[in-house]
Amino acid sequence: MRLGVLDVGSNTVHLLVVDAHPGARPLPAYSHKAELKLAELLDSSGAIDDDGVERLVATVREGLEVAEDQGVADLLPFATSAVREASNADSVLARVDRETGVRLAVLTGEEEARLTFLAARRWLGWSAGRLLMFDIGGGSLEIAYGLDEAPDAAVSLPLGAGRLTAARLPGDPPSPADVRALRRSVRSEVAGVVGDFTRFGAPDRVVATSKTFKQLARIAGAARSADGLYVRRDLSRDDLRVWSQKLAEMPERERQELPGVSEGRARQLLAGAVVAEAAMDLFDVDSLEICPWALREGVILRRLDSMRNGTG
């Protein structure tokens, strides 16, 4: 059957269409995305402003129309941290439902981490052993660890690249003092959860998902997206440290010229690098592997599992 996930994230609204059957690997059929940057559209009270709500409604309506055009039989719409943490979340969700007929399921941060971990586990297989996973989104950082498909530990921290850029890194490029302050703050938050994971022992394999990690790996020399899903891509702590410093000194227009960096994500890449470096340092990770599957695939896999088990 043809499934679609409509992911209302902190940076983009992304419709992923797949041809899927229980017990089989979902095959990508179509992808449609629109940049909203909801994490940057909050007013002083933490609410999504009127312009942001208007744009969200229009974008969800567009995604629904594309899903219908693509023959999607089952649409799984969900929202993550930007909507979850907005002070007017209930009214925003009600308006989207009223004007589009789409009822967005709001995932908790822990659910994000668990579903992303499920996707990484299925991609890598059981041979990966004890798996540690990082995911940097626009609004949050997810970390999960485990030996099975359900992680033994999973947390979500408010350390998304879009959120931190909007709140902590004014200037182009930002001042060294602002970068240092952000670095201290991020490391303090990450350090507070390290013990929740290290008590389970050292991981056998470390992976990262998300656009931020993919772009950081690409500028550090990893293979292009065009080279295919099955080409291994790694990011070393040493390379990340070098690029974190370079990004801190680059204006946005120069970041846009780096390989694999999209215009819409260039401004956020420094904050993403600060978070990634903190995670790798504090968890003592010398190198990690980029996993092409993430939250959207996790949502699809959970749906397929429920169909196979007769619960969905």
Q: What is the pLDDT along the chain (312 residues), one digit of tens a residue?
A: 899 999 999 889 999 999 988 778 899 999 999 988 887 777 888 899 888 999 999 999 999 999 999 999 999 999 999 899 999 999 999 999 999 999 999 999 999 999 999 999 999 999 999 999 999 999 999 999 999 999 999 999 999 999 999 899 999 999 999 999 999 999 999 999 999 999 999 999 999 999 999 999 999 999 998 898 889 999 999 999 999 999 999 999 999 999 999 888 999 999 999 999 999 999 999 999 999 999 999 999 999 998 877 765
How high is the pLDDT of residue 312? 59
- The confidence score (pLDDT) of residue 42 equals 77
pLDDT given at position 193: 98
Strand partners, 174: 171
Give the pLDDT confidence score for residue 242 in this predicted structure: 98
d(CA 21, CA 31): 19
The amino acid occupying position 126 is: W
pTM over 0.85: yes
Note the pLDDT of residue 308. Answer: 79
- Residue 311's pLDDT is what? 64
Instruction: List the strands of the sheet with 141-146, edge to edge.
Output: 153-157, 141-146, 131-136, 205-209, 287-290, 234-236
Domains in the chain, CATH or no CATH each: 2-106 (3.30.420.40), 109-295 (3.30.420.150)
φ/ψ of residue 32, rounded to 5? -140, 130
- Residue 289 CA to residue 156 CA, distance in Å, equals 20
